[in-house]
Amino acid sequence: MSNGSQKYYLFVSNQCPHSRQILNQLRNTQISKNLNVINIDDPRIQIPNFIQCVPTLYLPDKRQVLTEQHLIQYFQMMTFVLVVHKLLNKYYHKLLRIYTYYHNHNM
């Protein structure tokens, strides 16, 4: 999701069904490891001015705010990327052997 240490900020509320749904979907995924979840219901939290609704994802490295459909699409895309990455890691050596065999026998 990011370059390793970069954290993204997901602003949520316990009162919001969409926030609860996003949190349930992200639970136990690789994506959640790069998220700082900030519950705006906590009175100690000073809510940034750019938060107009929840859930909202803030990407500080891009200075980008994602809400609604853009937020859903972002998490879908990241889930897809992680699945492809996992598959490539799993089959890398097999694919390399196939490529090497094909390359050596067709030259």
Strands 8-12 and 35-39: parallel
pLDDT value of residue 107: 60
Q: Provide the whole-model pTM.
A: 0.76
**pLDDT tens digits for range 35-80:** 999 999 999 999 999 999 999 999 999 999 999 999 999 999 998 9
Average pLDDT, the chain: 90
Q: State the maximum Cα–Cα separation within the chain, in Å, rounded to a whole number.
A: 69
d(CA 93, CA 89): 8
- Distance (Å) of CA 35 to CA 14, 77, 105: 17, 16, 48
**pLDDT tens digits for range 55-67:** 999 999 999 999 9
